[in-house]
Structure 1
Amino acid sequence: MATILPPDADEPAMPETPSRAPSPLSFPDYRYYWLARFTAVMATIAMVVVIGYQLYDTARTDYGMSIKEASFQLGLLGLFQFVPLAVLTPVAGWVADRFERRSVAIFSNLIDLTIASALAWFTWTDGLTLPLLFGLGALHGVARVFSGPAMSAIAPNIVPPAVLPRAIAMSSIAWQSASVIGPAAGGLIYAAHPTSVYIFSATLLAVSALMISRVRPVLPPPAEVRRHPLREMLDGLQFTWRERFLLGTITLDLFAVILSGATALLPVFARDILHSDLMENATMLGLLRAAPALGAAVVALGLAWRPIERNVGVKMLWAVVVFGAATMAFGLSTNLFLSLAMLALLGAADMFSVFVRGTLIQLNTPDHMRGRVSAVSGLAISASNELGEMRAGSMAAAFGPITAVVFGGAAAIGVTALWAWLFPELRRARTFEPQFKTPG
């Protein structure tokens, strides 16, 4: 299915009043897409939260590691998830631009369903080991690298361009609301019966695959000239590199989150820092992981109701500053409720930045390049998350988890100031109107 464009238009045009555009949910395909995203994210995040806790607990209990040593294992888990992303991202972007995008997304869901089934079995039989958890974490990285570009490239093809900003916001609501429910549900289900959390995830992944299969086929746009696959993969990287606006937008998130990511260390805070007699450690971890998503969901609802239209670049930069400051406050807090509030704040700031960045990237990329550019953006996001986990785990091993988190928040603020100077295009972005000048 081709992108819905006005006659004789080469690129999607941004409406003057996006808040008056129809709801994306008025399109049946988008409803299926939204449900597929919601269920898949809830399943995978619930699964990943428990994997992190089981890995940390296994390292502490079965391998007798100290807090610093076990924290380093969490960093290694991030590295194991990043390696397949780094290697396969160009391939995943090319696949999303050359094959039917629903099939790619379903294939990714089935990989994660296999992982959930394997973890259910090994948890039931008490057969978990660190190598097994690292291996399944790496396989999850493979699923993510193919899912991201395919799902991102589907949305602009099932709604008109005028609806796209609101569709991105509502897609973020699916992501963030699932990110609120998933960690909390994962922690509670795991505390009640460890194996059940993976059965829960496997069921939701099957539902997600069914929902995405109901969307009409999203065929890749025809290419004027077919080139060698390696050449086409390289085109996505070159296009992103040439367009300084896209480059600055993508790399801002990359370096800010690499330096400030604290989620990898949440098992440490839940088990050994934020003590509470009111709940199990796994339940506390679920609340800590859900708090950023709760803040993000509130912002996403507001943006879906009334998307921002002016001074989008400056607002994105300030959102990253707030993200860094809230990260520092969380690292210094020893009170559970203050920590939850700071996590909610950093999640809200991150959601604001994600909304602006995601809309700018989608509207500044030609449709025939969306899969490859989405793959580059996805690699940056994954690199920021997984390498950020490695940075946090390594620094926690050397200096302690609190120092690692506080330093990361301060570094994110510094990166934002530097990027505002290096990429003045970001400050000058007044609206979501396309900024790129290079032909696709």
Structure 2
Amino acid sequence: MNLRIPTIALLASLVTNGAAITLLQAIGNYPQLSTLNTYITNSSNVTNLLSNANNFTFLAPSNTAIADFLTGTKDNVLTEGLLEATVQYSLLRGGYPKLSFTTAPQFPATSLSNASYTNVTAGQAVELLLDSNGAPQIMSGNKSTAGTTTTDIVCTGGIIHIVSEVLSVPMQAVSEFTAAGLDYFIAILNNGGFLNSANAGYVNTVLELKDITYFIPNSAAALANATALASNASSADLQSIFQYHVVPDFVGYSSLLKDGLSLTTAQGSNITITRQNGDLYVNAAKVIASDYIVANGVVHVLDNLLDRNNPSPPPAPTDATPSSTPTPTTTSIPTANTALDKSVPSKGLTTGATIGIAVGAAVGGVLLLAAIAFFFVRRHKQNKRQSGVWSEQSVVGHGEKGNLYRPPRPELVTQEHEMRPGMHSPAPDVPMRSPDRV
């Protein structure tokens, strides 16, 4: 009983003291937030915002974070508008203590709804997750990463985390394409004529819409397919291609892209989301980079172009043991008609079929020549053996050090291009070497 009374008194004291500490007071109590405190004090709009905040998580940039941020601004000055937008973006709606962070990303809405900086109805989002070491990370515009230096500072109405970087307010989608190094996609825009003023109407309309999910093809294969399509496509076809890669009225962060989800694109046809073996697919195209938060939504990067007339999912995984000699495969490049218009009657071979037949004929010819060569070599071996000249050692041969030498077995080498998160440009795909002529 004697132990219980002091405990109750202590809890009551903590509640009383906690209620007395407001968000502004808590910021003022930490020396590493003195620069932020000065900015807040000098801005009536920011002061009012934080004074009235409730049910929040505030990601407060440290003095060092602000100093680093200012080196990238003009004249090392933080304007009133950018200050207010940045503080709004740092004020999350809802409580997110350290223990709520997980390895699965979360995308809470923030208080940033200023139309000059964002065009997302629910409020611009940030990404919260744990890194490989279990440390909290905050991802903002262009995959900028901020760590935490102090967490779970409790005050009236919410929680404060002190962060090591000023959050980056998301930029316009067209700027993100450049900042993220989506070189292949920019080439697709150019080769497809999407940068021409004649097509600015529907392109700009998409870029200015609110609540958009972009699925952006960015690979050598996507560029090759898009270039082939553009050579024969009409203006209406090109518009359909562009709009089929955009989903309006839905900000589809990766956490919302569930297996089997069907989404209607700006073109009018649907795409289907598939999760398979830990990978995310849109139709049969693989997502190779996800969750670039932009001013009016989110961008996901694909390894190939989407085709509205072929919305098939990726091939189902198989447990079958592959044969010792892999079967050569080819990726056909569809013509504009085969990719865009189902109504075109099938009165001839498509480009893809022609390529397939040509490759098949070439492989068949190689196999025939190989069979003939094998027949004569075998006959020659038999004659040698009958004459007592050949032995097992002489058939295999010796290396430089006397070890048995066997010719290396052919192997199929593939290269998968993956766009990594961040601003690094993807390395160009290395073209497959054509087989030596027989």
Give the structure-1-normalised TM-score. Answer: 0.24
Structure number having the greater strand percentage = 2
Structure number having the greater helix percentage = 1
Of structures 1 and 2, the one scoring higher in RCO (CA 8 A, sep 6+) is 1
Give the structure-2-normalised TM-score. Answer: 0.24
